[in-house]
Amino acid sequence: MHLTAPATRRTGIRDTDGMAVASFVLGLVGLLVLNVFLGPTAIVLATVALWRGTKRRGRALLGLTLGVADLVVLVAFMQADSTISWSF
Q: pLDDT value at position 82? A: 72
Q: Which residues of 13-38 are buried (b: 16+ CB within 10 A; e: fewer)?
A: eeebbebbbbbbbbbbebbeeebeeb
Q: Who contacts 55 (Cβ-Cβ below 8 Å, separation ≥6)?
A: 13, 16, 17
Tell me what pLDDT residue 8 has. Answer: 58
Distance linking the first and last C-alpha atoms of the chain: 64
Digits of tens for pLDDT over the chain (88 positions)?
556 655 555 555 678 888 999 999 999 999 988 888 999 999 999 999 999 988 889 999 999 999 999 999 988 888 887 766 555 5
- What's the whole-model pTM score? 0.77
